[in-house]
Amino acid sequence: MSDLPEMMNAVVVAHPGGPEVLHVEQRPRPSPGEGEILIAVEAAGINRPDTLQRQGLYPPPPGAPDTLGLEVAGKIVALGAKATRFSLGDSVLALVPGGGYAQYCVAHESNALPIPAGLSMIEAAAIPETFFTVWTNVFDRGALKAGETLLVHGGTSGIGTTAIALAKAFGATVIATAGSDDKTIACAKLGADFVVNYRTSDFVAATMAATDSRGADVILDMVGGDYVARNYAAAAVGGRIVQIAFLNGPKATLDLRPLMIKRLVHTGSTLRPRAPAAKAVIADALHAKVWPLLAAGRCKPVIDSTYPLAEAASAHARMESSAHIGKIVFTL
């Protein structure tokens, strides 16, 4: 590591606030610990939790860097003690607990994966957060199977576009909601079988119409609030509702009878606070089940736009405008 610089560029949050509080600063380059690798970042994905952390609403978990950024792609430039999975110079993508908006970033080797053949660094950086999230929630917790129906809210978000792509690749029928006709058209182009503009249509009625009144087998929800009772109404007998965020707030007044009468499962999870070993289990499943599909071009991350680190404020402003379709990515 003697030829690596001591300092690096990183996006830091001057104080909690709007996108304008982001700026690039010189920070000490991190060093990999046991089982960790150091990545020279070539691209870094932006996620909605980053915007919450910038506002001071989502403190990093204990032990995580205080700088933003949950996913990167780049080349390995240093190996920590007992890091044996990769070699110096390997191109990898990685899910990281923080610190992705920087020239160098540390990842646990078990949370890094080789870049699937044919994908650019930008596409690779757009993968970890949404693919880990969709896999563990839709396929593990939600147990979506071929022939079943997935209802995904926020169909044009990074999570939404990934859920559409993966669910279609695994043989499910997909119903996607979005907030404009442009966005529902984008969902359809990505493969959604049915789309709902939630501003003009009721997604419960639309789901029932699309499923011959059976309802959705799995619902991926990041909205919460009044959506919860409506998700119960839109779910099929035996349906699984997986909660990954609460954009409309975590409080709900519910009649729980559908949970019992339809034998629903309401569950959820968060990814970031989990230990590297738990994320490694997801990484292994993705490598086995999804990497072949990515290499074969059968699913692909959707890129909305790219920004240099120096334009971090503009990147966050775009995320918060909700005008984006797919992922927003930094290039270094």
For residue 250, state whether it binds a second copy (rule: CB under 8 A). yes
- Give 95 or 271: the residue with its C-beta nearer to a second copy: 271
For residue 261, state whether it binds a second copy (rule: CB under 8 A). yes
Measure CA of the first residue to CA of the last residue in the chain; give whole Å: 20
- Provide the minimum distance between the beta carbon of 320 and a second copy in the complex, in angstroms, as a whole number: 22
Give CA–CA dist 319/327, Å, rounded: 9
Complete DSSP assignment for 148-198:
-EEEESSTTSHHHHHHHHHHHHTT-EEEEEESSHHHHHHHHHTT-SEEEET
Q: Which residue in the set 64, 214, 246, 314 belongs to the binding site for a second copy (CB under 8 A)?
A: 246
Q: Which residue in the set 2, 253, 288, 321 belongs to the binding site for a second copy (CB under 8 A)?
A: 253
Give CA–CA dist 101/324, Å, rounded: 19
For residue 252, state whether it binds a second copy (rule: CB under 8 A). yes
Structure tokens at 236: 């099929």
CA–chain centroid gap for 284, Å, is: 17
For residue 57, state whether it binds a second copy (rule: CB under 8 A). no
With CB under 8 A as the rule, give the number of residues binding a second copy: 27
For residue 52, state whether it binds a second copy (rule: CB under 8 A). no
- Provide the minimum distance between the beta carbon of 72 and a second copy in the complex, in angstroms, as a whole number: 25
Structure tokens at 322: 């909700």
- x-or-dash pattern for a second copy, window 221-240, by CB under 8 A? ---x---x------------
Q: Which residue in the set 26, 263, 297, 310 belongs to the binding site for a second copy (CB under 8 A)?
A: 263
Range in contact with a second copy (rule: CB under 8 A) among 153-161, 202-210, 255-263, 289-297: 255-263
H helices of 266-311, in order, are 276-289, 291-295
Say if CB 146 and CB 171 are below 8 A apart.
yes
- Provide the minimum distance between the beta carbon of 224 and a second copy in the complex, in angstroms, as a whole number: 6
For residue 58, state whether it binds a second copy (rule: CB under 8 A). no
- Give 170 or 232: the residue with its C-beta nearer to a second copy: 232
Residue type, 48: R
Structure tokens at 216: 């959705």
- Subset of residues 119 to 158 that bind a second copy, contact rule: CB under 8 A: 141
H helices of 28-134, in order, are 48-54, 121-125, 128-134
- Provide the minimum distance between the beta carbon of 227 and a second copy in the complex, in angstroms, as a whole number: 11
Q: Which helix (H) or strand (E) holds 260?
A: helix 257-261
C-alpha distances (whole Å) from 19 to each of 51, 62, 131, 275 are 8, 24, 26, 29
- x-or-dash pattern for a second copy, window 270-309, by CB under 8 A? x--x------------------------------------
Structure tokens at 161: 């576009």
- Provide the minimum distance between the beta carbon of 207 and a second copy in the complex, in angstroms, as a whole number: 20
Give CA–CA dist 110/8, Å, rounded: 25
Range in contact with a second copy (rule: CB under 8 A) among 64-72, 118-126, 180-188, 257-265: 257-265
For residue 84, state whether it binds a second copy (rule: CB under 8 A). no
Say if CB 186 and CB 325 are below 8 A apart.
yes
Give CA–CA dist 81/226, Å, rounded: 49
Q: Which residue in the set 254, 277, 296, 310 belongs to the binding site for a second copy (CB under 8 A)?
A: 254
For residue 257, state whether it binds a second copy (rule: CB under 8 A). yes
Residues that bind a second copy (CB under 8 A): 141, 224, 228, 243-246, 250-257, 259-261, 263-270, 273
